[in-house]
Each structure stands twice: as structure tokens, then as C-alpha cells.
Amino acid sequence: MEKKRIDDYEPGPVPSPRALDRFGFVKQEHNNSSDAFTKSRSASEHERDERRVRKWRKMIGVGGSDWKHYVRRKPHVVKRRIRKGIPDCLRGLVWQLISGSRDLLLMNPGVYEQLVIYETSASELDIIRDISRTFPSHVFFQQRHGPGQRSLYNVLKAYSVYDRDVGYVQGMGFLAGLLLLYMSEEDAFWLLVALLKGAVHAPMEGLYLVGLPLVQQYLFQFEQLVREFLPKLGEHFTQEMINPSMYASQWFITVFSYSFPFHLALRIWDVFLSEGVKIVFKVGLALLKYCHDDLVKLPFEKLIQALRNFPEDAMDPDTLLPMAYSIKVSKRLEELKLEYEKNNGKLVRSAELGRK
């Protein structure tokens, strides 16, 4: 039987209109923190935001023309401004500039179109099956086989052809979906390439290769960091037989885009694209530190639940992120990476010897 492509499906009915938050997600019945944040903003705060946008526009230049020059001249200013949050109206462009994806796009004209239109992927049916699970409460992705779902399909299909070793893994949908809310299909595709292939920072394709090797490494590093930075909590986790694979895998696989409040995820992504994956470790440690006194009292079942459902006050970017920035992990992460590779190398060699 011939495989069905997404273009073979008719779009489903347009979902009935519902109240949306400022990012395009259907509002929940309970209080939405990001929406409450919008309503409570004063005129002076809006004025301050407009001043920030003007500063950013001056820093970027028309279409990003001044960006590289400004970064070379004032890297500390750029870092500080990114950590404060990129203005939402400029986020898509700035993400492309700081990730290196704009350069990839300019160097590869016509490649994305070729991958989407003329190539076939072994993952097409898997992608179609999973699409409706990606940001299902966002207006852009709600219509079955509608424009949003088709764009998401195209980006994921194109990547699965571009890198057949990685192909397609479900968690990739959240990365691509987040990017599509801020840029075109082609731009989102090249940003995905920049991330996974390592245009600026270390390649992240190991998050999605068979066996998820990079996830295993990150979880090892994170477990050691918890023991070192939060020894009392680390000891409690050991006693309750809690390890990071039970609560932190999605943090790394989707870079917090799966279950975190969207306004917080965006702020993390600003820094992630600029400074690399160390911000995921820092935010994870900051969360555990913020909730430390409650977590150390909980038995296994309640602990698992708490680690998957952090309280709303812990998810406030203006509280959590400064705490995360104050945690220094770069040197220790590198040491733990070498330790993991050394230990893992021994395991691989012993397995090979066992087969002989």
C-alpha cells in the first residue's frame, strides 16, 4: 500500500474560537500566570519595554546587519541584555543571529525546498502520528492537518532526510514547534540544524541518536551536580532511589519546552541559544534549590509528583533565572564529561571483550 504524506490529508475543521493568552495558547480555567503578568503591567513598564525594543533594534541593525559588529565590540552588553530577555517582537530574528542559523540559510539556498518536495523519509508516518501531540493547546497547531501541523511536518520531515542517522525522534517536535512560532519553516529548519550539528555550541544530535547517548551523559552530570551543590537533597534522592532519568530527561530532550510555562521557556531559550546547554543544568539546579526545603521532606511517590509539577512561584523567570545565573557549572561540567567518557569507554570496551 502506498504511504500517505501529509499533503494527502484534508485539513480538519477549524477549532471553535476560545480565549487565548498573549502567546496564542488556549487559556486555562485556573489563573494563568503569564496572562496575569500581562494585565498587571503599568504604563511605565510598557514604556520601559518600548525603550528596550529601541535599544535592541539599534544593536541589531536593519535585518541583523549590525549584529556581528556589536557583539564583537560589546559582548558583555549583549550577554546582559539576552539574560534580561529578548523582546518578543524581535525574538525570532535574534534567535537566528545568535544560533548561527542565518549563516547556514544563506550558504544553502534551495536546500530546504529540495528536502521537503523531492525527498522521501522513512519517518513520515511517525511524524504524522505525533504532530497532534505537539503544543496541542496552541492556536497555530490545533487544526488537524492545518497550516501549523503541515509546517511542523515539513520541518521534521526535512530534518529526517537531511540527517538520516538521527532521522526523527518524538521530542524533536517540541523544538521545531517552538521555533515555528517565531519564524518561517525554512528558518526553523536551519536553526534546528544549527543546534543539532553545532554551528555555535557543542552539537546536540546525541540527544536523539539511538540510545540517546547525550541524554545519558547529561543525566550523569546532573546527578553529580545535585550531590555537590545540594548535598542534603542529593542524599535524600539516594535514600528514596530517585535519579534524574525519572524527572529531568524531558528538560534536556526538549530544553524545557515540553512542560514548563511558556513565558519561562522562552527566557531559557534566549540564554540557551546564546550560551549553550549549561543553562539547562543551571535552571534545573536553581529549581531544586528553590524547592529544597519541601523536597527533602517528601517520600518517593510525593517526591516524583513534586519533581514533575513545580509550584507556580518557582516558575517566575525574574526569581528563578537570577538564581540560575549565580550557579557556576562550566568547569565542573567539563570535568564530569571527561569522567563520563572515561567510564563509558570502559563499559563499551568490556562489552566488546564479552562478545569475543
What is the distance between the alpha carbons of residues 168 and 184, in angstroms, rounded to a whole number? 20
Q: What is the CA radius of gyration of the chain?
A: 21
The pLDDT value recorded for residue 354 is 45
The pLDDT value recorded for residue 249 is 95
What is the distance between the alpha carbons of residues 90 and 200, in angstroms, rounded to a whole number? 20
The amino acid at 313: D
The pLDDT value recorded for residue 298 is 95
What is the distance between the alpha carbons of residues 255 and 154, in angstroms, rounded to a whole number? 21
Asked if 3 and 122 count as a contact pair (C-beta separation under 8 A), the reply is no
The pLDDT value recorded for residue 9 is 65
Asked if 317 and 265 count as a contact pair (C-beta separation under 8 A), the reply is no
pTM tops 0.85, yes or no: yes
- Find the length of the chain: 356
Task: Name the residue among 222, 223, 212, 311 with its Cα closest to residue 254.
Answer: 212
The pLDDT value recorded for residue 207 is 94
The pLDDT value recorded for residue 212 is 92
What is the distance between the alpha carbons of residues 35 and 29, in angstroms, rounded to a whole number? 12
What are the per-10-residue average pLDDT scores of the chain (356 residues)? 57 69 80 51 80 92 90 95 95 95 95 93 92 90 90 96 93 95 97 94 92 95 97 96 95 93 96 96 98 96 94 94 96 96 68 43
Q: For the chain, what are the domain ranges?
A: 56-85, 91-201, 213-354
What is the distance between the alpha carbons of residues 191 and 184, in angstroms, rounded to a whole number? 11
Question: Which CA distances in Å does 324 have to 87, 98, 356?
Answer: 20, 21, 47
Give the SS3 label for residue 339: helix
What is the distance between the alpha carbons of residues 192 and 205, in angstroms, rounded to a whole number? 10
The amino acid at 24: G
**The domain at 213-354 falls in which architecture?**
Orthogonal Bundle (1.10)
What is the distance between the alpha carbons of residues 64 and 57, in angstroms, rounded to a whole number? 9
* 130 sits in which H/E element: helix 124-131
What's the first-to-final CA gap in the chain, in angstroms? 43
What is the distance between the alpha carbons of residues 302 and 240, in angstroms, rounded to a whole number? 11
What is the distance between the alpha carbons of residues 192 and 215, in angstroms, rounded to a whole number? 17
Query: Which residues have C-beta within 8 Å of that of residue 265, sequence separation ≥ 6?
Result: 178, 255, 256, 257
- Structure-block grid coordinates of residue 235: 542524599
What is the distance between the alpha carbons of residues 164 and 22, in angstroms, rounded to a whole number? 37
Q: 3-state secondary structure string, 154-173?
A: HHHHHHHHHCCCCCCCCCHH
The pLDDT value recorded for residue 168 is 95
Query: Residue 179: how many CB atoms within 10 A of its CB?
Result: 27
DSSP-derived letter for residue 70 is H
Asked if 19 and 137 count as a contact pair (C-beta separation under 8 A), the reply is no
Buried b (16+ CB within 10 A) or exposed e, 96-110: bbbbbbbbbbeeeee
- Structure-block grid coordinates of residue 195: 543546534
**Backbone dihedral angles phi then psi of residue 329, each to the nearest 5 degrees:** -125, -10
**The domain at 91-201 falls in which architecture?**
Orthogonal Bundle (1.10)
